[in-house]
Amino acid sequence: MRCLLALVLDEDVRADLAQIQDRLARSVDGIRWVASANLHLTLQFLGEWDEQDLEGLAELLDELPQRKPLQLELGELGLLGSKQRPRVVHMGLGGEVGRLQDLVAEIGETVELALGLPREKRAWFPHITLGRVKRLHPGPTEQLKAAFLECGHEAGRPLSSVTSFSLLISQLKPSGALYRRWREFGFVAEPDVADE
């Protein structure tokens, strides 16, 4: 099974991102947009694993330390890849990104322990992939940046408090990947009656 660990976005956030995709699609062609149901924030791509390996990983992920909910917000639209050949149109993130990076580091250590999968050498960059660039006319970066300005997105829209992450199973299809939640991992402690 092809697997990844991710934050699954609420339906209203996905709907807002879909509106941004629609506005961009009117200005720029040559991009394959991610279906709104598939929009997510990848924490770590795991690759191909069988269910038995995933059960062992799930046991360790269930033991991650509890923490307060993460407060995140949508950031700026951007591009990944070179200036002349952008590959990905993405939405950056703001808010408690440092705390999110701490969680990703702990997840990476756990994955390395459970599956022997070495941690990524390059720095993790929090973003939501909105589309993959297939072909663009000359001046692709300028064309996309102009479309970003025209689409009217303003950074700062809060996401709901993040209290869990999920292990997703990805099935590749000609139309794009289909994602199915295999397991969810809550990391926020239940409020103690004494604390109320």
Q: Which residues are catalytic?
A: 40, 127
Give the chain's end-to-end CA distance (angstroms, integer): 43
The per-residue b/e assignment along 42-78, b for 16 or more CB within 10 angstroms, e otherwise, is bbbebeebeeebbeebeeebeebeeeeebebebbebb
Scanning the chain, the segments in alpha helix (DSSP H) are 11-27, 51-61, 97-115, 140-151
Look at the block and give the residue holding tokens 């046991």: 59
72 and 158 in contact (C-beta within 8 Å)?
yes
61-to-98, 108, 134 alpha-carbon distances in Å: 20, 10, 36
